[in-house]
Chains A and B, each alone.
Chain A
């Protein structure tokens, strides 16, 4: 029998005797004959451990990686440095082989870590309460829009065209089946068009959704937007890059009601797109309308401080179809990664990461603009990513750069046809001056 199944033949016999049947098949009598599978599944022969390892290594080597190449690709997933400590903590199987902390007396590890994570998200965003995470940034945004429609009893949300295309797509998928209208408003010189927002904003609007830094990497100036949105009795939803919040004003200061975002940057590997972690924070007033797991502080029978899942009357296992969402889990381990990352980085470290991103991104931007034929597209401050006009299809340049072990930027014309020939370049703290110089040099040669 498999090494994962301990029953020996003798065990099986004793167990069958105790149950009072003569074979295991007898236990499956409730499966009607018509649907009983009368053949073996057609699967490959089982591999032994070493064979499996070789097979997986072989498969993995068919991929290029950001370790073997120099990565300037971002667009929602970023090649930040992951401190060694992170892997050691999330590699503890007491964390990764446990489940949802339904029994708090034997789940304080997970619960306290989630409480710390929630606190850190509140610190970054300036909001009153955060949940223990959701699937990813895009689903966090969609859930926020749904929450706003429910809170305001309205069915229309406005979203900036400079929000990540995947987030807008996921929002549309969620909205379509709920009869929610998603209206996009335009950008102007890389930032939201206030004129277009004002034109489209009405008393039918349940929420306005803006991302900063936006998909172009640009920091939106959101002063006054909160008042504008609230003036139409709508909620203001802001999607943020958590790393940027070490330096940039928290959304609470410009009137956000819900703050969401993708937490991958906080210590989570790129993993070809997942698992990532969506964070979700809101105001005191809206806390009980928030979807997802929430951990709260309490005391035990001895008066000792401890943590439990709380405000569960919002959740599906109690409220069933009346729940705030169908979510019944979180991205616990990825949120733990984020908490450990933020602990290691700490107050100063996260600021340093942010500063290095800005400095290196600006250096790269200036270096690239020195090249003949490359042009600025927008004139607005950015954080760790910028758009640049290279005058030819970005995927062609990227293909050529790969010969020099460089993973180039994102071909932004995929999502914005009006930005044909433009390239979205990400520069994290990991990129060195030498690597940036090399990028500029190769781009200069190739164009």
Chain B
């Protein structure tokens, strides 16, 4: 079998794919202008290919991906819902794409108005007072939110608070973000119902606590039913409550983080508000805060006066900037269009159907797979392949088996508190028929696991590639192409 070619391997000297204007000003010698010493002696070896080469190469590559537009993609915790096309269209309007971030305020009133309106919409949805759009992704939002928490405490003369409490079911980004901000991470375990163990929480809480990070519903897809108590415990010692918005798709129009006692939160625009995941980005992770924390938000904020919108940089207590310019603006445009399409009723229906779909699928699958926390779930649920493990079939084998049936696998081995975890999030945009077929395939895989486990251990068989050797990649890293010829 022949290896698929890299773009560099298509290169032929003298071939070109570009169209550029002739130089219409008097051309001068680069060495004279810039100095010979500064010039490059050897060209960067970029490919020399025709326009069709480029189109065919990348089009063929694209077809090797599973994607929401081509497959059911129940990747837990990632909310792989449908990305509406009208949002893509409006985000491509010249009046949004071809605007320079340093243009004067009077020439960008449309952008500013959009950000201003979006802040109002998201504040209402989350119950937060103000929102900054600067963070580029969820993890970046966490980082920003924790910086705000730190600045808040320091401003109150309580800089000694050095602990951030994180449940053992949390996303890995939570402890990593806390570390980036210089906090010590204290892990608190979950109870037998899959929620924060209140007694364990009380044990670790003291005057050194800066805050607690919580995903609600949590990564098991379960609503933290003791949220009010958790909030009282943390606030009781002067700590703040951070809401990881990864799972907001479960509760829109049903409950708001602001009403649950959260002081700071980030939103994952690319999950909840339907903007495409782009193969891993760009996302957008706006941060919302309650009244007391507004002074610490990044600069600038968008304000309105006399019917004009403007940037406010005069924010002396601000943590500063966390990104160039104002955030992933074009992603926000798409989410804004989404919210305007859905309205209050639509967003509530999103969450209701996301939860309905998850519970329906869970009910069908728990006949075949172990369900460690058997209670109603929110928008996602976590199964364990431990029954299948008895036949030496792992969660990963099930995942690879699904590929052969044209499904993108669920998230595997997360959260870490469930062994052989399969984390499934169907989202509201999938139909009952799709869920039924998926459940039938999952049942079939469970049967194969018992009867012919080797078939699963070898899978996938019908994907663009067989199973890839990840150990080899890490042990002998090849991180770029080199011309062997």
Contact = CB atoms under 8 A, between A and B. Distances in A.
Interface string A106-137: 11111011011011101110001110110111
Contacts of B278: 95-96, 98, 331-334
A63 B69 contact: no
A123 B482 CA distance: 10
B90 A308 contact: no
B99 A271 contact: yes
Contact of B65 (A94, A221, A322, A330): A94
B158 to A, nearest CB: 15
B51 interface: yes
A38 to B, nearest CB: 10
B460 to A, nearest CB: 5
Nearest to A8: B432
A37 B403 contact: no
Contact of A27 (B113, B180, B359): B359
Contacts of A60: 90, 93-96, 110
A340 interface: yes
Interface stretch (A81-89, A193-201, A369-377): A81-89
B347 A124 contact: no
Interface residues of A, number: 206
A18 B24 CA distance: 72
A304 B2 CA distance: 7
B46 A343 contact: yes
Contacts of B480: 115, 118-119, 122, 129-130
A381 B43 contact: no
A146 B182 CA distance: 12
B279 to A, nearest CB: 4
B379 to A, nearest CB: 10
Interface in B86-122: 86, 89-90, 93-104, 107-111, 113-114, 121
B340 A46 contact: yes
B219 to A, nearest CB: 12
Contacts of B428: 4-5, 7
Interface in B52-101: 54-55, 57-59, 61-71, 73, 75, 78, 80-84, 86, 89-90, 93-101
B468 A105 contact: yes
A66 B98 contact: yes
Given A300-B469, A334-B281, A347-B48, A274 B325 contact: yes
Contacts of B260: 35
B65 A109 contact: yes
Interface string A336-369: 1001101111111111110110111011000000
B179 interface: yes
Nearest to B355: A27
Given A62-B113, A274-B136, A321-B178, A333 B281 contact: yes
Given A77-B101, A271-B330, A346-B46, A52 B341 contact: yes
Nearest to B332: A274
B429 interface: yes
A436 interface: yes
Interface string B400-416: 10010000110100100
B350 interface: yes
Interface in A230-257: 245-250
Contacts of B364: 18
A46 B99 contact: no
B276 interface: yes
A342 B325 contact: no
Interface stretch (B140-148, B201-209, B382-390, B442-450): B140-148
Nearest to A66: B98
A63 B324 contact: no
Nearest to A59: B110
Contact of B432 (A15, A293, A349): A15
A321 B176 contact: yes
A308 B65 contact: no
A311 B323 contact: no
Nearest to A164: B324
Given A300-B466, A321-B176, A346-B47, A44 B323 contact: no
A104 B259 CA distance: 41
Contacts of A189: none
B282 A275 contact: yes
A108 B64 contact: yes
B58 A65 contact: no
B258 to A, nearest CB: 10
Contact of B431 (A7, A56, A308, A346): A7
B346 interface: yes
A30 B255 CA distance: 11
Nearest to B463: A105
B150 interface: yes
B109 to A, nearest CB: 5
Looking at B28, B58, B279, B280, the one whose CB has the most chain A CB atoms below 10 A away is: B279
A116 B180 CA distance: 30
Contacts of B481: 115-116, 119
Nearest to A178: B182
Interface in A254-282: 262, 269-276
A154 B311 CA distance: 37
B452 interface: no
B431 A302 contact: no
A176 interface: yes
Contacts of A85: 17, 51, 54-55
Given A62-B113, A108-B65, A275 B107 contact: no
A109 B64 contact: yes
Contacts of A273: 101, 324-327, 329
A92 interface: yes
Interface string A215-228: 00001010100000
A108 B325 contact: no
A202 interface: no
A399 B103 CA distance: 10
Contacts of B298: 173
B227 to A, nearest CB: 7
A312 B474 contact: yes
B124 interface: yes
A109 B429 CA distance: 25
A176 B320 contact: yes
Interface string B297-335: 010000000000000000000011111111111110100
Interface string A26-52: 111111101111001111111101001
Contacts of A320: 172, 175-176, 185
Interface string A162-187: 00101101101110111100000000
Given A272-B326, A342-B47, 4 more contacts: A4-B274, A43-B124, A99-B73, A346-B49
20 contacts: A4-B350, A15-B356, A19-B359, A24-B356, A31-B255, A37-B253, A43-B124, A63-B111, A92-B59, A94-B70, A96-B278, A108-B4, A109-B64, A112-B64, A115-B479, A176-B320, A269-B97, A271-B330, A274-B324, A302-B1
